[in-house]
Amino acid sequence: MSYHRCSLKSWHTFGINVYANNIVIATSTASLFYQCQKQDYQKDEPILLLGQGSNVLFLQDFNGKVLINRIKGISIVEKTNSWLLHVGAGENWHQLVKTTLDKGLGGLENLALIPGCVGSAPIQNIGAYDLELDQVCEYVDIIFLSNGEYRRLNTIECCFGYRDSIFKHLYKDPYAVIAVGLKLKKKWRPILTYGHLRYLNSKTVTPIKIFNAVCQMRRSKLPDPRTIGNAGSFFKNPLITSSVASDLFSRYPNISQYLQKDGQVKLSAAQLIDHCLLKGHHIGGAAVYGKQAIVLINTGSASSEDVVNLARIVRQRVAEKFNVWLEPEVCFISATGITDSVKVIT
C-alpha cells in the first residue's frame, strides 16, 4: 500500500502535521527490500523506516520515502528451561507482552504499555521498572536496504547500553530490523525493585499482577498519545560519575540516585525537571506535561519549532541548577533523515 505526498500526522504519536514525499506500508521482508530497490533509492532519495512513530520528532517535512514496517508473526518454541520467541518487527510491543502473558509466559510484564513496535525495541534498548530488553533478547535479525543482505546479531553483537545499541552507531547505513528473538525463562523471578512494585509480595505475586501494576502506574502519569500528542519520555535519565553524584547529593540530598553496575550513577530526569518547577511550562502549542515532567506534549497546535524551543529551555534550566546536561531520548528527524538531537537543542 502506497500514499503520495501524504501527511505524517497520523503516523507518529506527537501528531505534528508534517509531510513526506511517499508513505509505503511493507508487510514482508521482500516488499520492504523491493521498495528500496525502486528508482527512488537509486536517485538517493532519503528513506526512513517507522514502526508506530512513538519515539520520533519530525523537525520538518521529510523529503523522501517513509516505509511503515508491518512485518508480523509470533512463533514460540519450548525448550527445557525456557521459551524462545521469534517476533516480526511490525508487531505491537504491548500486544506482544499481553500475548505472552495470555499464554502463561512471564518475563516481559515490567515492559508493559511501552509504545511502539517490536522492531524499535532493540534500537532503543527499551526498558522500564528495572528491566531492559537486552536481559531477554537473544538476537536481532536485520537486512541492509542497499543490497538485501541478511544478518543475525546476538546480544553481545548488539552492543546494548542504556537506551543505546549498535543500531544507533555502526548500522546507521540504511537497514531494517525484520525480527527479534526473545528468551523467557521458565523459572520466573519477579522484578520488584522500582516504584510501587516494591510493595507487592514477592511470595504471592504473579506476572499478571505485575503487568496490571505497571499499567496502572504508567497510565496514572503518562498521557495517552491517542488524545494528547507526545513521544513518551522526551529525555534520557542522565548518567553521571560517582564523584559528581556525591557533590550533587551534598547540595541536594533529596535527589534520587541509582547506582549502576559500571559504577556510574543514574538520576531521574523527571525529578530534575520537576525541581526546576517546569511542569506546565509551555511555548506555543508545546508544554511540559503536568503529571510527568519528563514528557513534552502537543496541546493540539504545536509546531516542531515549539517542541524544540521548549526542550532547549528545559535542558538549559536543568543545567543551570544541577550542572547536568540532559539528552533527548526522542529521535529527531530532519528533511533527509535522523539528525543529532543534542545539537538541535544546544
Q: Which residues are catalytic?
A: 163, 233, 329
- State the cell numbers at 2: 502506497
The single-letter code of the amino acid at 345 is: I
Nearest to 331 by CA among 105, 150, 126, 74: 126
| Per-residue H/E/C for 209-254 | HHHHHHHHHHHHHCCCCCCCEEEEECECCCEECHHHHHHHHHHCCC
Cα–Cα distance measured from residue 309 to residue 329, given in angstroms and rounded to the nearest whole number: 16
Residues with Cβ within 8 Å of residue 157, at least 6 apart in sequence: 166
Residue among 80, 190, 182 at smallest CA distance from 141: 182
Q: Is the C-alpha dihedral spanning 17, 119, 109, 327 positive or negative?
A: negative
121 class by beta-carbon count within 10 Å (0-12 exposed, 13-18 middle, 19+ buried): buried
Which three cell numbers mark 7? 501527511
